[in-house]
Chain A
Amino acid sequence: MWELFVRSLDASIVLAIAALGELIGQRSGVLNVGIEGVMLFGATFGFIVAQTTGDYTTGFIAAIAIGALIGLMHGVFSITLGVDQVVSGMGIWILGFGLTTYIGNPYTGPLGMARIDRIGGMSPFFYLALALIILTWFVLNKTSLGLKIRSVGENPAVAEVSGIGVNRIRYMCVIVSGMLMGLAGGVYGLSYNPVWNYNFLMGWGFIALALVFFSMWNPFIMFGGAVLFGALWQLALSPEFILPGVMSRYLWRMVPFVITVVVLVVMSTRWFRTRWGAAKPEALGMPYRKEG
């Protein structure tokens, strides 16, 4: 049972890091629906680099770097060019899906390296994820930089008038957000599921996106959601733990996705919104252009 829990935490870590990246971007008002694409890039490049060099660290650096690059690209499209952010995000997802299928194909199969050592029974990324979440919360809520980020996400025109460089802050946020998504992809491809296959994320990026909506833009709630979801995912992968032989294993695989939809519905109801008060950044998804 403990093993199952640890394994489910491994899944949660991937989701949490990716969702954290999305959360930072959204707080600055930039929506990126292409998390899946960034994660695929991170996972594939991390996988290829780690396998070629035989070194995990280089692999993770590659994953983070490609994530930053894609984040920058999303920034150029949605901040400088003012392209619809959903269109740009979709583009990044399909670019990631298409290109990594082609690039990664010769590397199909297991990574073939010793697993990353665990620290105190946990994956080292568990501690990293916790640290990143606390750091994000601290920066967003307790520092002047966080105030700037949030004000840019709420009302860029007012932020600009009060002397904040809106585009600069947004660029910073999308790049950091891309780095985290790339890292999440790397953790998935190098630690959680180190067997490359085309499109091997199977929609995890979109689940991370749902987690951000679920979290009401609070990193701690987001982490709670990720832990819950990781547990669900792991149970769905090994249903024999709770209900042996009840349903076909294929049907079990549907369960986490069904639950994602159900959770999203519940928290979208007016009852939930008025009860908990959703703190959606006002300017989310809107391109900002200085007048004049």
Chain B
Amino acid sequence: MKIAEHDIRLVKRVELPWWNAALISIFSIVVALILFSLVFVHSGVNPINGFKEIFQFAFLNRNGLPLTINRSIFIFLCTCAFIIPYRAGLWNIGMAGQLYAGALGAFGVMYLFGAKGDPNLYIAPGIGIPLMMIGAMLAGGLIGGIAGFLRGRFNVNEIVTTMMLNSIGFWFVSYMVKEGGPFMNPVGRSESFDLPVSVRAPLIFGIPFTLVVALLLAVLLYWVFAKTRIGYKIKSYGHNPLAAKYSGINPQVIPVLVFVLGGMIAGLAAYHYFGAVPGVFKVARNYAEFGDLSFYGIICGLIAQGNPLAAIPISLLFGGLTNGGRFAQGKLQMGFGVDYALLGVMMITMVVLQFFYRYKIVWIKPEKEISDVGIIR
């Protein structure tokens, strides 16, 4: 293609330096936000005003910032749940199902303690909280593990399985918390029983301790993928399962491993939102919204290119955007679903820009007086 005098060519990349990848990611976010401003225009809102409202509420507002951080922790954990299978070349779109299971796991532990209908029950927090987290992780890991096992053992497409498990999980939670289900709130509002006061998560500056857990997890995962043998095995399975098999990596174990780990982290995300975020402390009626929110994990994981440390700022940005989006939608009287629209636009821009991970555009300046080259000279 030619523009003016310049020749533009697409050249296949041989390698992708990390700063280049970061640049593409930032570029894709900017493009998505520009596209997203069409949503503001469509609602008759000045996009600059719209973004100002979003960012001010999300990052500068005393009430908004904790909400942003809580959402970001949730999105970050979902991102990790996506990243681990992604590094093995597998698609976990079942964070929703895994986190529903995790929520039931966490509250299942409390149910066994007899916490249903007794919010003043005393359970030692040093025992109750870790047990809830373990319950959530076991349940999430179990649901994730189903998809991993079926993939490893029978080569069943994991996208279909995880999606089916999302629907199964959705209805199962409905069964558990609605219409007289075992976990139903005795006061009866189609949500689970309240968490006893004694096992509500400790806060650090108004933020649940799960923030620390999430940050530690990021470092741990980064280290696992960069330095350990198991991380190497996962990555090499992701590059080429067949080659990995011949180099002695068990192709049945890796899918199970990555999906169990992913599911456990998704379970932790459920614990974070339903058991640790101030003001929730139950499997809320709108639990499906958190299932939807977990899909941000896919986008964050893709933008971060599977790097858990890079996922931190991206999760923070998306936590802020969804939270601020909700706020702006109310304040500027826009239709419901602004944050969903952002989700969609973001994803598709991301897909287009995937192209640039593999190709780069090269501008070639025409050399001057090229036609003069001849015998005469």
Contacts and interface: CB of A to CB of B under 8 A. Distances in A.
A105 interface: yes
Contacts of A88: 351
A102 B340 contact: yes
A77 B157 contact: no
B160 A251 contact: no
B163 A98 contact: no
B310 interface: no
Given A82-B355, A83-B354, A106-B335, A94 B160 contact: no
A203 B91 CA distance: 16
Classify the secondary structure of B's interface with A: helix
A101 B91 contact: no
A260 B164 contact: yes
Contacts, number: 143
Interface range on chain A (Cβ under 8 Å from partner): 35 or more
B172 A250 contact: yes
Nearest to B336: A105
Interface in B345-375: 345, 347-348, 350-352, 354-355, 358
Nearest to B97: A257
Contacts of B348: 91-92, 94-95
A203 B93 contact: no
A169 interface: no
A246 interface: no
B134 to A, nearest CB: 25
A96 B344 contact: yes
A268 B154 contact: yes
Interface string B58-94: 0000000000000000000000000000000001010
A119 interface: no
Contacts of B154: 265, 268-269
Contact of B159 (A101, A206, A269): A206
A206 B171 contact: no
A135 interface: no
A268 B155 contact: yes
Contacts of B91: 86, 90
A251 B175 contact: yes
A202 interface: yes
Given A82-B358, A91-B351, A257-B167, A97 B344 contact: yes
A253 interface: yes
Given A206-B164, A265-B150, A265-B156, A90 B171 contact: no
B104 to A, nearest CB: 13
Interface stretch (B18-26, B235-243, B269-277, B295-303): B295-303
B164 A261 contact: yes
Given A102-B39, A257-B167, 6 more contacts: A102-B340, A248-B175, A258-B168, A261-B164, A261-B165, A265-B156
Interface of A: 33, 77, 81-84, 86-88, 90-92, 94-99, 101-103, 105-106, 198-199, 202-203, 206-207, 209-210, 213, 248, 250-251, 253-254, 257-258, 260-261, 264-265, 268-269
Interface of B: 39, 91, 93, 150, 154-157, 159-161, 163-168, 171-172, 174-175, 178-179, 181, 292, 295, 298-299, 302, 335-338, 340-345, 347-348, 350-352, 354-355, 358
6 contacts: A98-B337, A99-B341, A99-B345, A254-B171, A265-B150, A268-B150
Instruction: List 9 tightest A-B contacts by C-beta distance, closest first.
Output: A98-B344, A91-B351, A102-B341, A250-B175, A102-B337, A101-B340, A98-B343, A94-B347, A101-B337
